């Protein structure tokens, strides 16, 4: 009873507080829509729609009622949602002094307030430049062999003496180990496993409401973040010492890139900033990659025509190697996997791993004839243009060939699996290489089928096969 009373009083206070806070906005020309309940907004109904894979319909219902610009309240903040190519361009092309890349409170707290999505101006350019120096194509060429060997080892280990595996869990483990080893040079198995467990808890806290109450998902996520920080700090200390002794170079991994970074005053960036960007890059390189790989396995299991074309392309790479030579994949061979990548592109069009993202209005601004008050969130979503029949012919059909010499070019700000504008995902090439190497090893070494052929997709908030994608798997007979 005491807990119920506390919640009731909190909601009543929040109701009157929200009335007070939004009083000044009543004179503004806000778009149509509803801010929902105090504190909760419309977050619960949106989350429920996402779980049922009805996120697009949730937005479409509001667009049909209020138009392509509407207001709501998501993840604890009043939000203006913009849709369509013009809306995407407005958000993704805006200057930082108009719309900042400040994320919802939960993501900002879990990832840290100095992560790259929260930075602006010179600090953003500084950190992005350091990360890009490690992720640029000429550097990625040098990690192909290492990544191929690592993926091969993980797949053989995870399938050893097993005839059934959970596809989603396996892909999450694989992508986390790749990110930890290749991006951050963390190779200790115990440390990697402990970090993986805590990141799993941290990820679950991001789409929740920011109530730091013992026992809640958000509370557990914050505690997981603290444990991760305590594990990373000694690693940073060790890397700093190795750099000073000349045992490591600034390009050894992302940690060393950031540790050797200097601002305009030649001061090193703080450990807090390094750790916050470690969080962000792990989130970006691990969870979204695991999603796409899981969806690829799911799609190839269900569509024999697509599967056979992918298999033929990958086997052709092996057939064209010099007889007896198996030194692993090369950069040139990865560039031959054109059809496999088109399948991934089409999957990301129909089921975008990132549904959309938030910005925050730094000052009062306008869009589409409406006011957007300072401090409000602005949200864009990929679905609005990915499934637009005026942009993609027969958008509900799965057709990888639409990315092969399309009859009409895809307009800017309409196909956005990696975002767009200044804040396009910096790890998109890394993700592409990781996916192609993993699929190559899967289809050339294994055969598999779904345990539940009718398994649906759900969002939590990322899109995953709803049952974890259990698959029956066995070595391929060559």
Residues of the binding site for heme? 425
How far is the C-alpha of 89 from the C-alpha of 96, rounded, in Å?
14
Q: What stretches of 67-166 show up as alpha helix (H) in DSSP?
A: 84-92, 105-111, 121-135, 137-140, 144-159
How far is the C-alpha of 464 from the C-alpha of 202, rounded, in Å?
18
How far is the C-alpha of 377 from the C-alpha of 74, rounded, in Å?
9
Whether 32 and 67 have beta carbons less than 8 Å apart is answered as yes
Q: Which residue has the tokens 């799609």?
A: 299
CB atoms within 10 A of CB 106: 21
List, as one string, the DSSP characters of 256-281.
HHHHT-B-TTSPBPPHHHHHHHHHHH
Bridge pairing between strands 446-450 and 470-475: antiparallel
CB atoms within 10 A of CB 168: 23
User: What are the distances in angstroms from CA 214 to CA 122, 211, 217, 245, 336?
Assistant: 38, 9, 9, 44, 52
List, as one string, the DSSP characters of 343-396.
HHHHHHHHS-SS-EEEEEESS-EEETTEEE-TT-EEEEESHHHHT-TTTSSSTT
Whether 199 and 224 have beta carbons less than 8 Å apart is answered as yes
Residues marked as binding? 425
How far is the C-alpha of 129 from the C-alpha of 258, rounded, in Å?
10
**Could you give the angle at which helices 43-51 and 55-66 cross, rounded to 10 degrees?**
130
Of the candidates 36, 265, 290, 79, the residue with the CA atom closest to the CA atom of residue 172: 290
How far is the C-alpha of 463 from the C-alpha of 295, rounded, in Å?
8
Of the candidates 38, 153, 169, 52, the residue with the CA atom closest to the CA atom of residue 459: 52
Whether 118 and 103 have beta carbons less than 8 Å apart is answered as yes
């Amino acid at each position: 009873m005491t807990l119920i009373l506390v919640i009731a009083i909190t909601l009543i206070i929040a109701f009157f507080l929200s009335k007070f806070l939004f009083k000044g906005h009543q004179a503004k020309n806000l778009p149509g829509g509803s801010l929902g309940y105090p504190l909760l907004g419309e977050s619960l109904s949106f989350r429920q729609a996402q779980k049922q894979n009805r996120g697009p319909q949730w937005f479409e219902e509001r667009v049909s009622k209020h138009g392509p610009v509407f207001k709501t309240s998501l993840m604890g903040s009043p939000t203006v949602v913009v849709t369509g190519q013009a809306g995407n361009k407005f958000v993704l092309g805006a200057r930082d002094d108009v719309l900042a890349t400040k994320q919802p409170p939960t993501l900002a707290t879990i990832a840290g307030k100095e992560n790259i999505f929260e930075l602006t101006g010179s600090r953003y350019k500084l950190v992005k430049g350091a990360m890009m120096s490690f992720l640029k194509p000429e550097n990625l060429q040098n990690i192909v062999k290492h990544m191929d060997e690592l993926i091969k080892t993980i797949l053989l280990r995870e399938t050893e003496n097993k005839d059934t595996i959970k596809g989603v869990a396996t892909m999450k483990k694989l992508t986390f180990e790749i990110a930890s080893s290749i991006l951050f040079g963390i190779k200790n198995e115990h440390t990697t496993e402990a970090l993986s467990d805590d990141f799993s808890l941290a990820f679950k806290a991001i789409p929740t409401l920011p109530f730091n109450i013992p026992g809640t998902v958000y509370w557990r996520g914050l505690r997981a973040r603290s444990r991760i920080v305590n594990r990373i700090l000694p690693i940073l200390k060790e890397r700093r010492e190795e750099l000073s002794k000349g045992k490591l170079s600034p390009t050894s991994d992302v940690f060393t890139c950031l540790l050797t970074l200097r601002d305009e005053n030649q001061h090193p960036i703080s450990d807090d900033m390094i750790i916050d960007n470690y969080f962000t890059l792990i989130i970006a390189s691990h969870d979204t990659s695991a999603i796409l790989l899981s969806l690829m396995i799911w799609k190839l299991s269900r569509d024999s025509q697509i599967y056979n074309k992918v298999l033929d392309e990958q086997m052709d790479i092996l057939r064209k190697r010099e007889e007896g030579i198996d030194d692993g994949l090369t950069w040139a061979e990865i560039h031959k996997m054109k059809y496999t990548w088109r399948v991934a592109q089409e999957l990301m069009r129909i089921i975008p791993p990132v549904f959309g993202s938030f910005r925050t209005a730094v000052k009062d601004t306008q869009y589409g004839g409406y006011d957007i008050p300072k401090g409000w969130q602005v949200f864009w979503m990929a679905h609005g243009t990915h499934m637009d029949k005026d942009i993609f012919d027969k958008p509900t059909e799965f057709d990888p060939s639409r990315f092969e010499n399309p009859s009409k070019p895809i307009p800017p700000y309409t196909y956005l699996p990696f975002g767009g504008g200044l804040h396009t995902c910096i790890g998109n090439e890394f993700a592409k290489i990781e996916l192609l190497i993993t699929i190559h090893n899967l289809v050339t070494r294994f055969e598999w089928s779904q345990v539940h052929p009718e398994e649906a997709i759900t969002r939590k908030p990322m899109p995953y096969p709803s049952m974890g994608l259990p698959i029956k798997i066995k070595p391929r007979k060559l």
